[in-house]
A and B are shown apart, each in its own frame.
Chain A
Amino acid sequence: MPLPLDAERILADVVDYSRRLGEGFTRMHAIGQVDVGCCPRDELYREDRLTLYRYRRPDGPAGDTEPLLIVYALVNRPYMVDLQPDRSLVRQLLAAGVDVYLIDWGYPQRPDRFLTLEDYVCGYLDRCVSHICERIGRDTLNLLGICQGGVLSLCYATLFPARVGKLVTMVTPVDFHTPDNLLTHLVRPLDIDLLVDTLGNVPGALLNFMFLSLSPFRLGGQKYVHLVDIAEDEAALANFLRMEKWIFDSPDQAGEAFRQFAKDCFQGNKLVSGELRIGDRPVDLGRLSMPVLNVYATRDHLVPPAASQALARAYGGPDYSEFAFEGGHIGIYVSARAQAEVPQAIAAWLRQHP
């Protein structure tokens, strides 16, 4: 079978491609460092590497909902929820009248390697919740746990049910052993003790490499080759650079917390089976009784929908809802459709559950 390619045409294409590559290079170089985070916020509390923020409301009517504390994953930086004005979950929630708080876990350093999941859940998270509750004079607040942060939030809501009014989980794995969970498939044969005992804190770059290696040709090659298509669009290039910054901005993971998360969740699947323990306290999702909204992405390659939907079976309370977003694990924060659907769905659900 012949390939109908023409040398002259390829030469013309490669000249055109090289020119656009040069343009992209020049513009990216000129843009330099990009800013992330667009909504003004105030620092409320700081402890070790952690910072608790409250976002300022835009001009407009005060919200009528309880405060919502966003608990992001430990493995990436939380500015993904407020990347830029037209890609900001936080901005949309504020616009919908929600009072938004966020925990930035920071970058664990070498001395933090002995931090456990108990330290994160019963220590840092609980002290943030307490700080907010005391500040606003309430007994409870609402939690929005994202990805791994959703697991932390589920643990917290189970252990401190009197503190959580409503719980929203977003792209949160609950059953780690669904057949389509590629990460689990690759993590299960690993000797996690050897990994943590050898490395101490687990390098963020290692985890990032693992995430990218699930789709290396698209994420490591094609994405950059196609970048020349937006070489003339400075705004689009700046968007691209913000995403790149986020993707490769991966904090190291505190060793002991990583050890327990990888062994108990990825390998032991203990969250859904009810065998997970935080410190000496069991995490029984069947004891959850507050209203729960579970938001998942139908094309999520990191947290397959079935892994999230397992919460429906594990949840023990009377008020469980799901919201399925047609998109992927990253698109649920930043795609145009997500901006129009996800924050509104969360805000509406919060309003419907006074």
Chain B
Amino acid sequence: MSNHERRAIDRLAELLDHHLRLWQAWLPAGQVSPPTFAELLRHWQREQTGTEPLPEEVTRLLAQGEAFVRLAEESVRLLADTADTPATAEMLARLHQAFPNPLFHSVTAPPPDTPDWEALRERLPAAFRALLPWAAGSDWSAGNPLQAELRKALGIPGIGLPAAAQARWTEFAELWAEHQAADAALREHLAAAARQALLELQQRLEERHAHGEPITSLRAFYDLWIDASERAYAAMLRSDDYAQAQGRAIHAMLRCRRQAQLIAEDLCAAFGLPGRTEMDATQAALHETRQRLRLLETEFARLRADGYARTRPRTEQRPGSAFET
């Protein structure tokens, strides 16, 4: 390890010592919450590397490490809040609160500039806020009167745009609505699997407790949670309902994208630029030309080899001509 690396790690140890003292001081009093370990790690990391972008694998390590640290912090807060040993159900409720859908934490690290959605939501007018659960929380495509009204509105002829362009945008709006609905339906599956995972986790904790093998470290608790999540998620994956929901979501996304491409093509055409369709046609022709060239090359090589074989004594003929057919 280089001196620079050693200094970086010593600096982290120093920060962690200080941080630990803050948390230890906070524990008995429980008043003002100390800064989080995740923030400390991020602060230290920026001290070391500045704002240069990190390699993806390092980003993934940090994201998941921070998730684990957040779990630890949540646990400590819970233990500080409860006078006695916390009940499992309460611990799980905190876990669920901290990680409402563990899949998203596992599969994708949040981008660095993810907006604070919660804060944004709070700044919305009350009427808008009231609509959010409806918009994001359930599959609203089936028999929703508001959607029917929306569809009527989308059917109003456009003003100022050519009819064809207006039709493309109208269709895009409808496809986008379906995308939102399909996405919400898929998320309901994921959320149900997350809830099932917590139930399985509770069951396993109880089994271990009954067998006199209680969980005593947070790492073991985390591993048990991962196992439970994998089992619940695997069961969901194997269900036909989920496969259909996933298919619907993917199709909806693709249809949006295809429609956006058509709109972009219209725009390109307006400026005399080649669009996707034109490029595809060109590339298809290029591909066909390549294939024909290969055939000609092969035939040429065969003819040349034949000519070579005819003009040479048979003993010099090499077996297995490359282009024999």
Residues of A within 8 A of B (CB): 1-15, 17-19, 21-30, 32-33, 48, 110-111, 113-115, 119, 123, 127, 130-131, 133-134, 137-140, 182, 185-186, 188-191, 194-195, 197-200, 209, 212-218, 220-225, 227-228, 241, 244-245, 248
Query: When chains A and B are docked, how far (Å) is the Cα of A12 from the Cα of B19?
Result: 11
B73 near A: Cβ within 8 Å? yes
Q: Would you call A217 and B37 a contact (CB within 8 A)? A: no
Question: Contact: B250 with A190, CB < 8 Å?
Answer: yes
B218 touches which one: A5, A213, A245 (CB < 8 A)?
A5
- How far apart sit A29 and B49, CA to CA, in the bound complex (Å)? 9
Q: Select B16's contact among A15, A113, A198, A225, beta carbons within 8 Å.
A: A15
Chain A residues with CB under 8 Å of B41's CB are: 18, 21-22
User: Given A2-B87, A182-B238, A225-B222, are A18 and B16 neighbors across the interface (CB < 8 Å)?
Assistant: yes
Residues of the B chain whose Cβ atoms lie less than 8 Å from the Cβ of A215: 230, 234
Residue B144 is within 8 A (CB to CB) of chain A in the complex: no
Expressed in whole angstroms, the Cα–Cα distance for A180 and B218 within the complex equals 34
A4 to B218, CA, bound (A): 10
Is B205 located at the chain interface by the 8 A CB criterion?
A: yes
Instruction: Please name all residues of chain A whose beta carbon is closer than 8 Å to the beta carbon of B55 when the two chains form the complex.
Output: 28-29, 32-33
**A137 touching B319, Cβ below 8 Å:** yes
Q: Nearest 6 pairs between A and B by C-beta?
A: A134-B322, A189-B247, A224-B64, A221-B106, A114-B287, A2-B85
A15 to B18 CA separation, bound complex (whole angstroms): 10
Bound together, the chains give a CA A198 to CA B264 distance in angstroms of 13
A216, B214: Cβ atoms under 8 Å?
no
Q: Is B137 on the interface with A (CB-CB < 8 A)?
A: no
A213–B236 Cα gap in the complex (Å)? 12
Residues of B within 8 A of A113 (CB): 280, 283
Residue of A nearest to B23 (CB): A11
Tell me if B65 and A224 are in contact (CB < 8 A). Answer: yes
Residues of A within 8 A of B221 (CB): 3, 5
Chain B residues in 8 Å Cβ range of A6: 79, 216
Could you name 18 residue pairs across A and B whose Cβ atoms are closer than 8 Å? A5-B79, A8-B24, A11-B72, A13-B217, A14-B73, A18-B41, A19-B12, A21-B62, A25-B48, A29-B55, A30-B5, A114-B288, A134-B322, A139-B319, A185-B237, A191-B251, A217-B226, A224-B60
Further pairs besides A4-B85, A10-B76, A198-B261: 17, Cβ < 8 Å = A1-B88, A4-B214, A7-B79, A9-B217, A11-B23, A13-B72, A14-B73, A33-B55, A111-B287, A131-B322, A134-B320, A185-B237, A185-B238, A215-B234, A220-B107, A221-B102, A244-B57
Which residues from chain B contact A220 at a C-beta distance below 8 Å? 64, 106-108
Q: Which of B5, B69, B217, B244 contacts A26 (CB 8 A)?
A: B5
Which of chain A's residues have a CB closer than 8 A to the CB of B12? 18-19, 22
How many residues of chain B have a CB within 8 Å of chain A? 100
Can you name the residue of chain B whose Cβ is closest to the Cβ of A12?
B20
Which residues of chain A are within 8 angstroms of B73 by Cβ–Cβ distance? 14
* Shortest Cβ distance from B218 into A: residue: A10
B267 at the A interface (CB under 8 A):
no
Interface contact B27-A7, CB-CB below 8 Å: yes
Give complex CA distance A200, B87 in Å: 54
Tell me how far the C-beta of A216 lies from the nearest C-beta in chain B, rounded to whole angstroms: 5
Question: Known contacts A5-B79, A15-B16, A29-B49; is A218 also within 8 Å of B58 by CB?
Answer: no
If A3-B215, A4-B216, A17-B68 touch, whether A27 touches B284 (CB-CB below 8 Å) is no
Q: Tell me whether A218 and B20 are in contact in the complex, defined as CB-CB below 8 angstroms, given that A3-B91, A198-B257 are known contacts.
A: no
The residues in B between 42 and 82 inclusive whose CB is less than 8 angstroms from any CB of A are 44-45, 48-49, 54-58, 60-65, 67-69, 72-73, 75-76, 79-80
Q: Of A5, A10, A25, which is within 8 A of B58 by CB? A: A25
Neighbour of A111 across the interface among B49, B56, B283, CB < 8 A: B283
CB-CB under 8 A for A18 and B233, given A212-B107, A221-B67, A225-B64: no
CB of B41, distance to nearest CB on chain A (Å): 6
Query: Separation in Å of the B64 CB from the closest CB of chain A?
Result: 4
Interface residues of B in 281-325 (CB under 8 A from A): 283-284, 286-288, 290-291, 294, 318-323
Contact of A13 among B214, B219, B238 (CB under 8 A): B219
Is B84 within 8 A of A216, CB to CB?
Answer: no
Shortest distance from the beta carbon of B178 to any chain A beta carbon, whole Å: 13
Which B residues are CB-close (under 8 A) to A15?
Answer: 16-17, 19-20, 37
In whole Å, how far is A128's beta carbon from the nearest beta carbon of chain B?
Answer: 11
Judging by beta carbons under 8 Å apart, are B243 and A185 in contact?
A: yes
Contact B230 A133 (CB under 8 A): no
Assuming A28-B58, A241-B57, is B216 touching A5 (CB within 8 A)?
yes
Min CB–CB distance B152 → chain A (angstroms)? 27
Is B254 a contact of A25 with CB atoms below 8 Å?
A: no
User: Quick check: is B191 within 8 A (CB to CB) of the other chain?
Assistant: no
B144 to chain A, nearest CB (A): 24
> Which of A14, A111, A241, A245 makes the CB contact (< 8 A) with B72?
A14
